Amino acid sequence: MKGHELDLFCVPRHYENDLDKVIIPHGLIMDRTERLARDIIRDMGGHHIVALCVLKGGYKFFADLLDYIKALNQNSDKSVPLTVDFIRVKSYCNDKSTNNVRVIGGDELSSLSGKVSPDIVETGRTMQTLLSLLSECNPKMVKVVSLLVKRTPRSSGYRPDYIGFEVPDAFLVGYALDYNEYFRDLSHICILNDQAKEKYKV
């Protein structure tokens, strides 16, 4: 995987020795997100959408995606209600084969007819558990949009309805992805090098 050299982009100086490559530039993320918004409106628009943000990683992608969705709504003929809500999903592994997921926050789940928006799907198990929880609330339609999906042998095979990018199983930071609360001020998605994994360790 080649990616781009850091010095072709604006990367904060204090990260210059921490990153290998830029693999998804910020502008490309925004362009892809703009198209995802259009595809989503095509399938779900015209009816009340509940946009469910999976915190904490999801908020940046959520905010940008919603800006594009709102821009499309601005130019439609009617006003469509757009509810936003926020949930946290905590996973508990009691043993390696179980993956219990707890949903925290959000309004009454019974009020849902929605779209779920995480930043990255890796194994897919969290999303599968969340979806089965939501189906008990009888939404009209549930769709999942994920900015990134990782190619990993640990994947359960689950694929979101809308995918921004499919990425390698590498250590990624930037845009929505922080590393121990660092790299939030990095707008491109990059690969973290090994020295930096130690340097920013908690």
Among 7, 136, 181, 198, binds a copy of itself (CB under 8 A): 181
Among 47, 152, 185, 195, binds a copy of itself (CB under 8 A): 185
Tell me whether residue 48 or residue 151 sits nearer to a copy of itself (CB atom): 48
The reply to whether 84 sits near a copy of itself by the rule CB under 8 A is yes
CB of 185 to a copy of itself, least distance (A): 4
The closest of 157, 184, 181, 154 to 169, measured between CA atoms, is: 154
Q: Please state, as a whole number, how many other Cβ atoms lie within 10 Å of the Cβ of residue 2.
A: 6
The reply to whether 9 sits near a copy of itself by the rule CB under 8 A is no
Kind and range of the H or E run holding 51: strand 49-55
DSSP result, 163-182:
EEEEE-SS-EEBTTB-BTTB
Separation of alpha carbons 84 and 107, rounded Å: 10
Residues that bind a copy of itself (CB under 8 A): 10, 12-15, 48, 53, 55-56, 59-60, 63, 66, 70-71, 73-86, 88, 104-105, 180-187
